[in-house]
Structure formats: structure tokens, C-alpha cells
Amino acid sequence: MNLTFAQIALAALPFLPLAGFAVNGLWGRRFKETTIGIVGCGSILLSFLLSVFLFMANLSGSFATVQVRLFDWIPVANGSIGFSLMADPLSLIMLLVITGVGLLIHLYSVGYMHGDAGFARFFAYLNLFIFFMLLLVLADNFLLLFAGWEGVGLCSFLLIGFWFTNESYNAAAKKAFVMNRIGDLGFLLGMFLIVFTYGSLNFDQVFTAAATAGGANNATIIAITLLLFWGACGKSAQIPLYTWLPDAMAGPTPVSALIHAATMVTAGIYLVARCHVLFSLAPFTLSVVLAVGVATALLAATIALFQTDIKKVLAYSTVSQLGYMFAALGTGAYVAGLFHVVTHAFFKALLFLGAGAVIHALHHEQDLRNMGGLRTELPFVYRIFLVGTLAISGIPVFSGFFSKDEILMNVFQHHTVAWGLLFIGALLTTFYMFRLLALAFWGEKRGHHANYVPMNTTMKLPLAVLAFLSFAGGFAGLPEFTGLNWLHHYLSPVFSDVTLHNEPHLSIGVELGLMAFTVLAIAGVIWFYASRFKHLQTRELNQLNGELPWYKKLPANKYYVDEWYNRLLVQPINRLSDFLYRVADTLIIDGLVNRIGGMVLSAGNRARKLQSGDIGIYLYVMLAGASGLFLLYVLLGS
Amino acid sequence: MIVTILIVLPLLFGLAAIFSNGRSVRNAALAVSLAEFCLALYAAYSFVPQAGMQQVLNLPWIPALGIHYHVGVDGIGLLLILLTALLMPFILYSTPDDIPKPGAYYGLMLVMQAALIGVFSALDGFLFYVFWEMALIPIWFLCLLWGRGNTVAVTLKFFIYTLFGSLLMLVALIYLYLQTPQPHSFSLEVLYAVSNLDANVQGWLFWAFFLAFAIKIPIFPFHSWQPDTYVTAPTQGTMLLSGIMLKMGIYGAMRWLIPVLPMGVHNWMPVAVALSVAGAVYASVIALQQNDLKRMLAYSSMAHVGIIGAGLFSLTANGLTGVVFQMLAHGINTVALFYVADIIERRNNTRNLNLLGGIALADPRFSVLVFVCVLGAVAFPLTNGFIGEFYLLYGLFEYNLPMCIAGGLTVILGAAYMLQFFQKTMFGNAISTPHKPVYAGKSELYVLVPLTAIILLTGIYPKPLLNLAAPAIEQLLQLAQF
Amino acid sequence: MALIAGLVLAFGITLADWGIRESYFHNMISSDSYSLSFSALLIACTGVSLLLSPMYYNRLNLPYMDIAAMKLFALAGGICIVSFVNLGLLFIGIELLSISSFVLAGSDKRNLLSNEASLKYFITGSVFSSFLLFGIALVYAVTGSFDVTVIGAFYSQAGGNINNLFYVGMLMIIIALGFKVAAAPFHFWAPDVYDGSPAMVTLFLSTMGKIAAFGAFLRLFNQAFLPVPYHIGILTCIMAVATMFIGNLSALWQDSYKRMLAYSAVAQTGYLLLVIPASGSMSADVLFYNGITYIAASVIAFSVLLLLNQYTESESRSQLIGLAKQNPFLAFAVTVAMLSLAGIPPTAGFFGKYYLFTLAAGAGYTPAVVFAVISSLISIFFYFDIIIKMYTGEAQEQLKMVIPPAYSFSIFVSLIVLILLGVFPGILTGLLQ
């Protein structure tokens, strides 16, 4: 087997972080923090360099896709599922995001986690996460993708519960894993249906078979895509499986940035994009995706309006932004969805790390009510945060503007009502982000933190880089009419078979008009908030401390969804468990068995008493028995 | 020949050990079990998957009645023998040094091993039955004499309950034997060739066999002996029971039920699958709220074997592949987990999950090893549990979608209770232990490290094991046609 | 000693006669492989009984020699009935056996229970002797002969066209012999007699007496009543199943070890009774095999009882608690005996049961086999209770047991028989063909 250099690079890519995990995991406790940091970041850096190399090679046209089969994993149907990796433009984009943003967050963590007893463990977990994430995006078949898929869930579990002496963190970790598992069951069933239908789990074979079989909107393909989407809902925190993500904020902030904003939660988007051949054949599913995406985007945005925990606001914002991505996918605009994945990775990582910087500086204070006025105290963080806020709000030339605009444009073209809702969502986004900014940085100081923990360079550098990317990242996908949408162009080979875009394109005029409309509306919101933030803030702070009116109480309490889940699912299952154990198992099933035993014993007691010792009775019974035998004989004989 | 050595060697040493006394018996027993493992490895090495039954030895035992000492292995039997031979050294090694009456203890263990290997290699119905019953006596004594708690009542129930099934199987075997052409025979091939039974009779016989196997496995609702027995038995006894012995039931169904009574199986398989799946969900739900660590593991084990049972009676190639692989995976994982439970209990003097905690602080290395076992148990990809579960659920999917979904629920529930177990014991603050005991000392590592390594290795590269069993499974499926 | 020597000689003679087929006394009695093998078994059985006797009777202060003589009379009766050709001899043999048994049951003159046992046995026994006589008379009335070979030929030639009185006679004989072997519902005498008699006698009656009666029972069927009419077969099966259940169920609650063994003996009768409906080619083998197994297990079980009697008045099962610590060998032997009686492989008892079940199922009585299986589950309760008692717990009082060589020898030989026949059951099969 002659391997090209690209193949070797591909094969090495995921295993470098794995090696980092092994080294830090096995010997980390004996290392100094610096060593751990070098191992942890170094392995990601190498992966990043390899990713860049592959990306460059791909750009320069030395290969369209590169594939390497490490070994046969398990035979399924008539073929064999290989432990094999594949990189095409789609994977490569994800690769760059994962290793790039991952590297920055690793660097940041060196400073953020400084002095933590689990420093080595933290980096081991992070590296393991990157390994599984790379496995996820590089897999060339569903099964290996699933391995990565479950693997990132596992790392998410480990990292949410990183401070494992805290019981509530553990509960959040378990909730995340179990909810992901609920989604994974859908994925698993989807895989079964795929093998069953197409006889393979390899992407190539499945997609070719599906494309040749055609038959859009037939029941099988709808079932397959719905099941896969169900899995994606679990991982990417969409309705109804989103409640784990806000709880996942229990993990250290870099984890929230890396896993619960930039990478893992976008795995669902990646999955749908990867399976675009299937999804495009199932317009019904796409409309479901659109509906779920829009609903999630709005629902999470309204909740985010009332959160007081700095990370919770960002968490709901993430859920909401993921909704935008799915909405894009739902209209068949895969590239737009992925574009938002990329820009979101930049600005949301930035926001989380910025929030982390605040939390770090304030000695682990996360409550917005105890912040305020930090602009002067933490000027660097403020500037960073401002960039992120502008980016996510969709202020022109910031990255979020381009990606969100592309999504809105596509949705508008497809479904006006959905567009309207997403438009409102965009306004809400702007509102809650500026509310966050104002509560934390503007106004007067409310907390009683005197000495702020200073940041070191390893924390500042990643923030600076991400701020730059949040600002400039959007230029990878300039609006269509400019003809300069590089990302669209780059990804077009992957999505070349998407035939959905047969509708006429919006004219430049409409497009520009919409754009201007959106931007103006957003600017209006900002102007509105900024001009009277003091009043709004005082009112809100008073309300938050006191009783809220019902229409605010509802979203502030997350629409009681957790409580409903608890009441409708968790508690009944626990009660059922108790019932099954105490009644069904102990009392009925085992009771029945014991009862049979008891019956035998009591029958024994009765049988024993037949032996009365009275010879007269004996003789009587024996002779009666003899006549009985004769009687029986006669009866049987007749 | 090598199979016979595998049976006779531990039998002789075991019997000798029962009547001996003294501490050196431990080392001798370990040496024998290691020799067994080497022999089993050699048998696997010289095994040719495509060549059907191998290492066959056929000697007349009671020639007048057509009863033979007839042993041999195919891929399925070989893998189970390999599992037995692999686990036995660990089980023996994990026994506390200060166990009372070591002679009898290790002797019974070795006799048990002989009986188990006998079950997995017997090609004569009568011989199979004899080994089947023979395995019951040592484990009964082990549970009775070295167990804790109300051993008398629990073990008696266990014994009578399992014997009930076995005796029904004996009647069915006798009935089948009498249906064979003159001179009657118990030989496997002859029984496979019996074709003069109508569906009704096959149904009756199916239930006689099925009950025997269902009780042993155990399949819902014939399981109620199991949690109590697992809890009161000495840990090593539980390892034997859950790790190897319940595979007797599954194996028995594969060898003596499905190919012998294809029509009966075909008619009743929906019931068998439904019971298995129902039991798996049922046990998973119960496991969620168990505070007794061992009882929780007992129900978890029952949930896993429920899925195995479902895969078995789905009679699909994938399902059966899953059955074979999961038997191995479950054997390894459950032995490791019960050992973990034992270690935890010995350090803390409690099994109550609510009283435990903070072990990861005391011994992080231990918690990592336990975590790998947990991953295996929750069918995490790249562990052995996933491979088995994947095939099983896919087999079930091919058979019937609702069953597959119900079975799939156990994957979710399994994650819930296993993680709960892990968090309650490993995480949190140490409540019950003011001092920080070492959980994984040298001797514990000798057991846990190889087992966890196997969990990962067979999950990442299961192909050799799958290849070993594939032809045998194919043959089984052919025999199941009628 | 002389007695033992005599018995050994007799045993030797029976073995020496192997392969010779002759009849004596005007065809009253014949020596064939059936009679020889059963005779040898009965002789061995009596021999063990005599071997174990001295210690027992010395303690009770009973005339050992008188009792030995009675046992020999009984043995003579037993040999007669396993070798008979003429129904007359069957009757005589049974009477010989019975009357000696009555005396034996009451041999502990000073013990009220023993006297009561003897009386009960005598009264019920004489009633059922009349059944035997009446049955023989009816068979003679139809066939015109007392010779079983002649009767057999007559019956098989008639092929169903036979006077109904023949069947009535057959049923009468079944009832009488059922009484002798203690089959339900004619078993009532057995628990009381077995319990009331001195333990030594109980051993003798429940082994020698029972196997002799079974030997006669099967011999009669094999020679005269083949093929067994289906209805009669079902009736015997019902008797068999009832016996098993009554024996096993009643044994559950017995605190007295001796009484438990008495009921166990009743239950074992039930299993053995399955050979009767399945009379024919293999049945003799099956009975013989089970006879040996049963005797060997009983010898071990009763030896412990006899030893316990030596040290304590109590016959409670709890006397066995902790026996394994005091005497591991004895405990092991009893364990094997109990496993064998319960029919667990790889002991001889398992194979015996298997053999019986196959025979019965082969003759078409599968439901009876299922019942037999279920009843044997019940027996686990009390057989295993003995094992559990021996291996767990601490003995209340430390009995410093000295086991006389005769006991060690008998137990050891029985143990060997149980294990050897369990592992190589083939050495006995086909012996009686």
C-alpha cells in the first residue's frame, strides 16, 4: 500500500490529540503545568498544521478528496466497515475550525485552568475530545462517525462534570449524556435503516445508492432522514432535546466555548450537511428541519432575554444560533448553514472566552446582577466582548452579518413566515446580547469585587485572534451577488448534486433591500437599548429581584420545560422503577415463585398429617384405595 | 483431544484440591487455570473457522444406550471455552488470600471450570446434560459456603429453580432421544436429523428447552432467583455465574434448541423475543433506582442478557453475530464490574450507593479503570459492548422494528444507571471514608488492567473474534431452516 | 463372623453360577441371570446389615444372634421371590419374608414404638397377603397354571381375548405387591414401621425387603404379563406418581432424620414403580441398577443414623449440623448419598433416574415422567437440607465419633459404588439381557 503524504497526514491527524491524551492522562499528574500545556497544545498545534497542509493541498488541487483505510473494523451486511478516514472540502472546513479554534481554546485554558488540581486531567479530556471530534468529521462511514459522535458526547460528559465533587455539576453531566443518548438512539435506528435499505454504511456507497434509487419523499428516505435529524437534535440541542445545553454550562468555561459552542454542538449540522444527498431527497424532512430550527431559534432567544447567569445567556444564544443553522439546512442552503457554523465558532468562542475572562477576573462570579461597570475595570475584555456582540448581532462587515444574512436571505426565498420569525429572532439576539453587554460592562459597579485576577498572555492572545476572526471571518462568504462567495465556491463540489435550488434567485435589489431592512432594524434595537439602558436596567434589576409579570416569568423560568420533563418523564420512570422493583419483581414475580415453594411446603404439611398413626384408618384408606383402583380400571377400560 | 484435556485437567486437580488443604492450593489452582488458558489459546490458534467441528473426540460411554463421550468445538463453542479459560485465572486470582477452606474453594472452582468447558464442547445430548448439571453443584456449594447473608434460602431457591428448568430439558432430551431411529442416539447430528415431529410436539419441546435456558440466562419472568443469588454469592461466585454460567443458557439454545426444533422455535420466537426485550427494559428500569451496588449490577446484567436473548431468537445472521460477540463482551465486562463492586465494598464495608462517593479523589487510577468498564457496559463505541449491541440491535431491527426500539431504550437507560453508579461511587466527596484507601493495589491492577485492555482492544479490533464465529453462525442459520 | 463368611460364600456361589440357566424343584424356582443378580444384591444387602449390627445391638442389649437368624430367613424369602417360576413359591417366599419382617420390626421388645410397628405391619400385611392369594387364584382360574412361563405364553397367545378375571387377578396381585413395596395408597404401614423399628431393621426392611419385593414384582410382569395392558400401566403410573408425591411432600416437614429417610424410602418406591408399566426388555436392568444405587445410598444414610444413635438419643436432623467439621469423610459420603437420592449427576442416582425416565417415556408414559421430575424437585428441599446442615453452622454438642471399621468399610464401598456407577454407568447395562 503506497500512501501519499496527504494520506499519512490524514491518518496522523486525529491520533496526535489521542497521543496527547494518553501522555497527559497517564503521566500528567507527575508533570508540571508547563509540560502539560505543551503536550496538550502541542498535539493540537500539530493537528492544526496538518489540517492547514491538507487544506492547502486541496486548494491547490492536488486532490479532491483524500481517503485512508487504517484497518477493517467490523463486517456489516456484505461489506466491511473500515476504520477509515476521508477528507473533502466539507471535512476540511470543519477540520480547520476544530483544530484552529480548538488550539486557541487550549492556549486560553493554560491560563484559565492555572492552579486547578485537575489541570492534567483537563487537558487530557480536551485532547480526547478533539480526537473524537476529528474522528467524527473525518469518518468515511456512518459507524465511525457514530463512534466520534458518541465520543464527543462522552468528553462533554467528562468535562461538564469536570469538578466532580459538586453533585449538581454531575447531574448536569449525566443529563447531557443521557439526552444525547436519546438522540443517539435515533441515529442508531437511522443507521440500521440505512444498512437495511442500501446495504452499506459507507458514505460513498450509501449516497450513490440513494441518488441512483432516487424516489424523492418516499417513506424510507423520510424515515432515515428524520431519524438522523433526531440524532442531530440531541447533539445540537434542538427542540425537544435542547435542555441539556444550558445545564452544560457547569463545565469550565473553555469547555463551554469549545464543546458547547464552537464544535460539538455543530456536529448535528455537519451530519445533516454530510447527508445532504439523503436530506435533499426528503423535502418533507427538510421542512421539519426548518420548522424545528426556527422554533428553537425563537424559543431560546426569548429565554436568553431573561437569564441572569452570564453563561446561561450565551448558552441559550448558542441554542438559538444553532436553530438558525438548522433553518438554513432546512431550506437546502447547506453552505449557508456551514458558514454560520464557522462564524459562530469564532464569535461564540470569543464571547464564551470573554465571559470566562470576566468570571476569571471576578473570582468565579457568574451572576450578571453582581457585575456592571466592568468597562473601566476590564477594558481589554470589554473591547473583545463588544466585537463578539457586534458580530453575533449582525452588524455589517462583522462576520455574523454575512452568515446570518445569507441564512435570512435563503429562508426568505423559501418561506416568508419562517423568515419573519427569524427576523424577530435576530432582533431578540441583538437585544439580549446588548442587555448582556450592558449588565456586565456598562453602568455602575454592583458587585463587591475589589482585586481582579489579572489575565496572562496565553489567555489574551487567543482572545485577540478570535476577535480578529469574528470581525473578518465573514469575508469568506461575501453575499452571492458580489460573486465573491469563496466558501460557496469551495464547498460546491461537495454539494454539487443538490438539485433543490431550482427556484429563481432573488434579484440584487430585493436582496440589498432586505439586507438594509434587517440592518436598520437591528441598529434601531441597539439605538433603543443604548439610549435608555440605564432605565431599562434598573427596572429589570428590580424586577429580577422581585416578582416578574407572568409574560416575563414564563421565559425567565425557561417555560418550565425542565420541570415538565421532570414531571412527565423522569419522575414517572423513577416511580415506575420503584413500582417494578417493589411490586412487580419482589411481590408478584418473586412472590409467585416463593408462593409455589410455600404451597409445596404447606402441601407437605398436609401430606404429613395423612399419616395419623391410626391403623384402623390406614386399613380403611388402603382398602378404599384398592377399590378405587378397581373403579379406575373399569372407567379406563370402558 | 485438546478439549478433553481442557476438561480433565481442571477436573482432576479440582477433585484433588477438594480433599487437600493448605495454602499452596491457591497457586496450584492458578497454575492449572493458566495452563488451561494456554491450551485454549493453542486450540484457538490451531482452529480453522471454515472446517466445522474440530478437536472432535468420540468415545463410547454407555454404548448400549447410544450415549457417547463426544466432544468437539466449532467457532461458537471455542469462543466460549476461550472466555472461560480467560476469565478463570482472573476469578481465581481475585479471590481474597484469607478465604476459609481454600482447598475446597479452589477445588470447586476448578471442577466448575471443567463442567463449563464440558457444556461448551459436548456434542452428545446426554453428556451435555451431565455437564450442565455438574456445573450446578460446585457453584451451589460456592454460594452456600462462601456467600454472605441468607445463603441457605437463596441458594436453595437458586438450585431448585434452575433444576426445574434442567429437568424439563432432560425430559425433552429423553423424548427426542426416543424419536431418533433405532438404535437411539443422543448424538448432535442425529438429533439435528430428527424430522418426524409435528409443530405441536415441537412447541412442547421448545418450551421444555426454553424454560431451562430462560431460567439460566435469565429471561424475564424467570429471573427472580438471580438478583438475590448475585447479591449473596461470594463475588467470585457471582463472577462465575454472570460472567460464564449464564452463557450456558444462551449457548444451549444455540446448539440444542434452535437447530433441533426449528419449527418449534419458529412458532414461538415472537414470544421469546418479546419476553427477552420486555425483560431487558424491565431490568433496566429497575436498575435505575437500585441503591445496592451488586443488585444494581445484577439487574444491569439481566438487561444485557435480555438483549442477547432477543438477538438470539430473532434468528438473523446479525443478531446471532451479536449474540456470540456480546456473550464474550458481557462476560468480560460483568466480571470486571462485579470485581469492582467487591473492591469498593471491601474498602468501605458498604454497597449502598448513597453512602459511597469520592473514590476518584482517593484513587483516580481505579476510577479510570472502572470508567472503561462502565463504557463497555453502556455500549460505547470502540469498546466491546458496542460491537455486540450494534449487531444485536440490528438483528432485532431486521426482525421487528418495535422490538428494536424497545431494545434500544435499554441503551439510554443503561447509560443513565451506569453513569449514576459511576458518579455516585467515584464522584462527589468521600462520605464514608475519612481516610483514602487504595482501591487499585497491585493485585487489583493485575486483574483490572488486562480486563479493561480487552474491553478496548476487542472493541477496536473485533475482527478476529468475529471471523472465528462467522462460519458456525452461518451453519446454525442453515440448520434453523426447515 | 461365621454368618458373614456364610453370606460371602453364598454370594460367591451366586456369582459362580453366572451364565447357567437351570430350574430346580420341579420348576418351582429357576436360576437365571435375573434371579442370580438380584439374589447377589440381596445377599450383599443382608451382609452389610449383619456387618453393621454388632455395635448397634450391643448398645441396645438385644440378642444379636436371634435377629441375625430372622434376617437370614427374610433373605431366604427374598431369594425365593426373585427366582420364582411358580406362583406358589412367590406366595411362600413373600410370606417368609413378611413374617420375618414382622418379627424384626418388633425386635426391640422393650420399645413400645417397635412393638406397635410390628403389630401394624402384621395386621396390614396379613390383609394384603389375602389379596395376593386371591389374585393368584384368579390367574390360575383363567390360565390353568401356576407356572409363570405358561401363564405368559397363554396371555400373549390370547392377545387380548382373555377372560376379564385375568385382569382382575392381575390387579389384585398389583395391589398386594404394591403393598409390599409400599406404594401409595398402600404405603401407610411403611412410615410407621420404618420409624418405629430399630434403625438397623429399618435399613434392612427398606433395602433388602423392598428390593426383594420389587424383584418379585418385575419378575412376575416380565414373565407372565407381557405386554402390560395399557390401562394397568396407567394405574401403576398413577400409583407411582402418588407415591412419589406423598413420600416427598411428607418428608419435607420431618424433623426426625429417621422419619425423613422413611418417607424418602417411600418416595423412592414411587420412582422404582415406574419400571412395572414399562416391563420388558430393559426393565430388569433398570431395576437392578436402581436397586444397587438405592441400597448404596441408603447404607450411607442409615450408617450415619446408626452412628448418631450410638451417641445421642435424638434423631433430629439438627444433629447433623456441623458434621462436616467433625468428620469430613462422613459428611462427604452423606453428601454423595443425598445427591444420588436426589438424582443429581454425576452420581449413580442421576443415571438411575435417567434410566427410569427413559424407560417410562419409551413405553409411552411421558406425563408420568414429567410428574416424576416435578416431584424430584420437591425432594431437593430435604435432601439438600441435610447437606446444608452438615456444611454450615456449628454443632451444638461435640460428638467425638469413632467410626468402627465395619462402618467405614460399608460406607466406603457404597461411596465407590455411587461414584463409579455415576461416572461409568455402562458397566452394568446389558447385564441382564
Task: Report the neighbours of A using a cutoff of 3 or more CB pairs below 8 angstroms.
Answer: B, C
Q: Do B415 and A181 touch (CB under 8 A)?
A: yes
Q: How far apart are CA A197 and CA A478, in angstroms?
A: 40
Residue C219 pLDDT = 92
Is the pLDDT score of C384 beyond 60? yes
Q: What gap in Å lies between CA C404 and CA C415, rounded to an integer?
A: 16
* Cα–Cα distance measured from residue B26 to residue C161, given in angstroms and rounded to the nearest whole number: 72
Instruction: Please report residues of A whose CB lies closer than 8 A to that of C120.
Output: 615, 618
Instruction: Give the C-alpha distances (Å, rounded to integers) separating A153 from A236, B52, C73, C119.
Output: 11, 42, 87, 84
Q: How many angstroms separate the Cα of A142 from the Cα of each of A91, A148, A207, A274?
A: 14, 10, 11, 10
DSSP string, C328-364: HHHHHHHHHHHHHHHT-TTSHHHHHHHHHHHHHHHTT
A633 → closest Cβ in C128, C231, C253: C231
User: Taking CB atoms and an 8 Å limit, are A636 and C235 in contact across chains?
Assistant: yes
Q: State whether the Cα torsion A126-A130-A132-A136 is positive or negative.
A: positive
Pick from B12, B68, B137 the residue to mutate for testing the C interface (most C CBs within 10 Å): B137
**Interface mutation target, options B159, B285, B422, chain A, most CBs of A under 10 Å:** B285
Quote the cell numbers at residue A555: 421565559
Interchain CB distance below 8 Å, C124 and A630: no
C-alpha distances in angstroms, A93 versus A43, A345, A482, C135, C214? 19, 12, 22, 102, 91
* Assembly ipTM: 0.90
For residue C227, is the peptide bond before it cis, meaning its omega torsion is within 30 degrees of 0? yes
Is residue C321 in a domain? yes
How many pairs of residues across A and C have Cβ atoms under 8 Å apart? Answer: 82
pLDDT band of C400, cuts 50, 70, 90? confident
Which of C124, C234, C238 has its CB closest to that of A622?
C124
Residues in A closer than 8 angstroms to B375, CB to CB, are 154
Task: Express each pLDDT in B210-265 by its tens digit.
Answer: 999 999 999 989 998 999 999 999 999 999 999 999 999 999 999 999 999 988 99
Test B171 with C370 for CB contact under 8 angstroms. Answer: yes
- The distance of C392 to chain A (nearest Cα, Å) reads 22
Q: Is C29 part of a structural domain of the chain?
A: no
| pLDDT for residue B326 is more than 90 | yes
d(CA A410, CA A391): 20
- A38-76 pLDDT, tens digit per residue, is 998 999 999 999 999 999 888 888 888 888 888 888 888
Mean pLDDT of C103-131: 89
Q: pLDDT at position C159, please?
A: 76
Nearest-CB residue to B463 (from A74, A192, A196) = A74
Q: Is A552 a residue whose pLDDT tops 80?
A: no
B433 band by pLDDT with thresholds 50, 70 and 90: low
Instruction: Find, among A566, A560, A529, A549, the residue nearest to A299 by Cα.
Output: A560
Q: C114: which residues sit within 8 A by CB, 6+ positions away?
A: C105, C106, C107, C108, C196, C197, C198
Q: What's the pLDDT score for residue A500?
A: 47
Question: B170 to chain C: nearest residue by CA?
Answer: C354
Q: Give the C-alpha separation, A278 to B321, whole Å.
A: 29
In three-state secondary structure terms, C228 is coil
pLDDT band at A268 (very low <50, low <70, confident <90, very high): very high
Output the average pLDDT for chain B. Answer: 90
Any C CB within 8 A of A620 CB: no
Interface touch B461/A71, C-beta < 8 Å: yes
Strands (E), B49-193: 54-62, 67-73
Question: Other CB atoms closer than 10 Å to residue A638's CB: what's the count?
Answer: 6
Taking the C-alpha atoms of residue C351 and residue C371, their distance in angstroms, rounded to an integer, is: 18
Give CA–CA dist A456/A454, Å, rounded.
7
- How far, in Å, CA of C223 to CA of A554, rounded? 96
- In this predicted structure, the answer to whether residue C7 has a pLDDT above a threshold of 80 is no
Average pLDDT over residues A14-37: 89
What's the grid cell of residue A575? Answer: 416511580
CA of C332: which chain B residue's CA is closest?
Answer: B19
With respect to residue C338, please indicate whether it lies within any of the assigned structural domains.
Answer: yes
B463–A72 C-beta distance less than 8 A = yes
Which DSSP state fits A448? -
| Cell numbers placing B237 | 461466585
C-alpha cell at B202: 415441537
Chains that touch B (3 or more CB pairs under 8 A): A, C
A502 pLDDT band (50/70/90 cuts)? very low
Contact B65 C370 (CB under 8 A): no
Q: Are B459 and B240 in contact (CB under 8 A)?
A: no
Inter-chain residue contact B145 with C391, CB threshold 8 Å: yes
Q: Give chain B positions within 8 Å (CB) of C376.
A: 167
Could you tell me which residues come within 8 angstroms of residue A550 by beta carbon, excluding any fewer than 6 positions away? none
- Chain A contact for C175 (CB, 8 A cutoff): yes
Higher pLDDT, B434 or B28: B28
C398 pLDDT band (50/70/90 cuts)? low
Which residue does chain A place closest to C189, by CA atoms?
Answer: A618
Chain A CB within 8 Å of residue C332 CB: no
Q: Is-contact A203 A274, C-beta < 8 A?
A: yes
Interface of B with A in 254-273 (CB under 8 A): none
CA–CA distance, A242 with A228 (Å, rounded to integer):
16
C297 part of a folded domain: yes
Pair B370, A169: CB distance under 8 Å: no
C189 located within any domain: no
Three-state SS for A86? strand
* CB-based burial label for A446 (10 Å; 0-12, 13-18, 19+): middle
Closest listed residue to residue B64, CA positions, set B243, B231, B184: B184
Of B129, B136, B163, the CB nearest to C377: B163
* pLDDT for A492: 81
Q: Which residues of C touch B (CB under 8 A)?
A: 339, 344-346, 350, 354, 357-358, 361-362, 366, 369-370, 373-374, 376-377, 380-381, 384-385, 388, 391-392, 424-426, 429-430
Question: Which chain A positions have a beta carbon within 8 Å of C174's beta carbon?
Answer: 629
Band (C156; pLDDT cuts 50, 70, 90)? confident
> Is A333 in contact with A477 (CB distance < 8 Å)?
no
* pLDDT surpassing 90 at residue C215: yes
Sort out which chain A residues have CB atoms less than 8 A from B397's CB and list them.
Answer: 189, 192-193, 196
Domain of residue C332 covers 251-433
- Report the alpha-carbon distance of residue B3 to residue B120 in Å, rounded: 10
Amino acid at B141: F
Name, in order, each residue with C-beta under 8 angstroms of B478's C-beta and a sequence gap of 6 or more: none
Pull the grid cell for residue B446: 493485575
Are B211 and B143 within 8 A, CB to CB? no
Total structural domains within chain C: 1
Query: Which region holds residue A117: left if phi is over 0, alpha if psi is between -120 and 50, else beta?
Result: alpha
Q: Are B135 and B245 in contact (CB under 8 A)?
A: yes
- Pairing state of beta strands A66-76 and A79-87? antiparallel
Residues of A in contact with C252 (CB under 8 A): 600-601, 604-605, 608
